[in-house]
Amino acid sequence: MNLPWKFARRYLFARKSSNVINILSWISVSGIAIGSLGLILVLSVFNGFRSLVISLYNSFSPEFVIVAAEGKSFVADSALMAELSAIPGIKAVSRVIEENALLIAGDHQAIAIIKGVDDAYVSVTGVDQAIAEGFFSVQDSISPQVVLGMGVAQSLNIHLQDPFALISIYIPKKNVTRWINPIDAFHRETVRPAGIFSIQAEVDNKYAFVSLDLARRLTGYSQQVTALEIAVNPRSDIAFVSAALSNAIGPHLKVKNRYQQNETLYRVMNTEKWAVYAILTLILLVASFNMVGSLSMLAIEKKRDISMLKAIGAGSHLIRNIFIYEGLLIALTGLLLGTALSLLLILLQQRFALLKMAGTFVIDAYPVEVHGSDLLLVLATVMAIALLAAWYPARQAASSPIRIEKY
């Protein structure tokens, strides 16, 4: 251990002649500890919510989606499907048609997005695992069926126990400008509700699943689809699969990964996290003012030590480092205390769910998740603030004159 660290450690832990300096030093340690605790806890809560929300969206959003580069639909022929399925790492490819529609059930109606899916769809996403009532089925041996989002089902006042519950789906016909009877302007199909899914409010309030054949009849598409949704095997190289897909589809189509499918969601979550980080960092900066005071008072008390060190040949660089290291040691002590306490609280929350959430949500306790990158970020933040806080007192101490004659 070098000389400045030895002095810094002694100055922090040894008893001072004035008890006020001891108190201020440990208040500085406590301020850094509380600030570090708050930063780690808040970032961990954001991580928990981020993982939860992404897991909810991932049960609906596939790993990759292929859509038209221009326009709304494109032809997905058997040759394209075979080429995509042959790419190493591809688990399943599902053809999808999405279109806005009017749903009417008795006296109730709702605007929703009809999503026509084929048999491979359940292998692409986890929607069938998010069924709250009934089961995921878009076609039985008798009649077409529909699986509704929870919000859509509530708007239509649908009860699966009602054997006579029927839903009429209306989608405007394309290229029809004149009609005698207004009903002739729409494709219309009647379906029976088979299940209700619950993923996330934004999805539950918008989507209803039907078979791909029914969606073709409602939209007038023959071979076109609006998207191809793709699942990837768990251990596959995502970057390799993405590049292979881009090479296979050509310029008239484009590939979207999960981030691009929900770009706004990811951007909002990241913005919120960094905004809270900035606010808590400002609180840490305010707490560091106490460190400036304690180091300045320590420099006044240690004038005799400083003068003696200079008299025996110590340079200003050594004196400055002693007080800079003192500030870093205060910050590091507070950081270790805050980190240890925050990790203990996070562990207790994960194990015993101490802090409950008000209202109704998919979980009943606040989710927390520690990331190593966040711990490194907090470490870098605290050390940077400590350097800023210690610089002025250290420079003042280093520039103080030698006054041995007073002692």
Q: Which alpha helices (DSSP H) does 207-262 contain, by range? A: 212-219, 238-249, 258-261
pLDDT higher than 60, residue 404: no
> Where does the pLDDT of residue 405 fall: very low under 50, low under 70, confident under 90, or very high at 90 and above?
low
Q: Tokens representing 37?
A: 């605790």
Mean pLDDT, rounded, for 151-180: 89
Do 103 and 247 lie in one domain? The reply is yes
* Residues ≥6 apart with Cβ < 8 Å to 284: 31, 32, 35, 36, 39, 381, 382, 385
Summarize pLDDT for 2-43 with one digit per residue, the tens.
788 888 888 777 765 556 777 888 889 999 999 999 999 999
Do 239 and 331 lie in one domain? The reply is no
pLDDT at 332: 95
pLDDT at 316: 87
Do 288 and 320 lie in one domain? The reply is yes
Q: Tokens representing 305?
A: 């030590």
What Å distances lie between residue 214 and 165, 184, 310, CA to CA? 18, 18, 89
Summarize pLDDT for 282-296 with one digit per residue, the tens.
989 988 888 998 898
CA distance 402 to 68: 78
Do 253 and 279 lie in one domain? The reply is no
Summarize pLDDT for 174-204 with one digit per residue, the tens.
876 666 677 778 999 999 999 999 998 899 9
Do 309 and 357 lie in one domain? The reply is yes
* Residues ≥6 apart with Cβ < 8 Å to 39: 277, 280, 281, 284, 378, 381
Q: Which one of 220, 242, 258 terminates a domain?
A: 258
* Domain extent for 37: 3-57+265-406
Average pLDDT, the chain: 90
pTM of the entire structure? 0.83
Summarize pLDDT for 82-98 with one digit per residue, the tens.
999 999 999 999 999 99
Do 45 and 96 lie in one domain? The reply is no
Do 86 and 227 lie in one domain? The reply is yes
Mean pLDDT, rounded, for 204-213: 97
Summarize pLDDT for 122-154 with one digit per residue, the tens.
999 999 999 999 999 998 878 899 999 999 999
pLDDT higher than 50, residue 407: no
Q: Which one of 258, 277, 310 terminates a domain?
A: 258
Do 39 and 173 lie in one domain? The reply is no
pLDDT at 361: 65
Signed CA dihedral, 86, 61, 346, 362: sign only:
negative
CA distance 22 to 11: 10
Give yes or no for a contact between 190 and 31, defined as CB atoms under 8 angstroms apart.
Answer: no
Mean pLDDT, rounded, for 59-69: 95
Do 319 and 349 lie in one domain? The reply is yes
Summarize pLDDT for 348-383 with one digit per residue, the tens.
999 999 998 876 667 889 999 999 999 999 999 999
- For the chain, the domain total comes to 2
pLDDT at 19: 67
Do 270 and 234 lie in one domain? The reply is no
Q: Which one of 258, 279, 309 terminates a domain?
A: 258
Length of the chain: 407
pLDDT at 17: 57
CA distance 177 to 397: 86
Kindly report the number of other CB atoms within 10 A of residue 250's CB atom.
10
Summarize pLDDT for 322-348 with one digit per residue, the tens.
999 999 999 999 999 999 999 999 999
Give yes or no for a contact between 221 and 95, defined as CB atoms under 8 angstroms apart.
Answer: no
The residue that leads in pLDDT, 87 or 299, is 87
Do 238 and 104 lie in one domain? The reply is yes
User: What's the one-letter identity of residue 356?
Assistant: K
Q: Tokens representing 52?
A: 């939860």
Closest of 172, 166, 124 to residue 144, by C-alpha: 166
Do 179 and 309 lie in one domain? The reply is no
pLDDT at 24: 81
pLDDT higher than 50, residue 216: yes
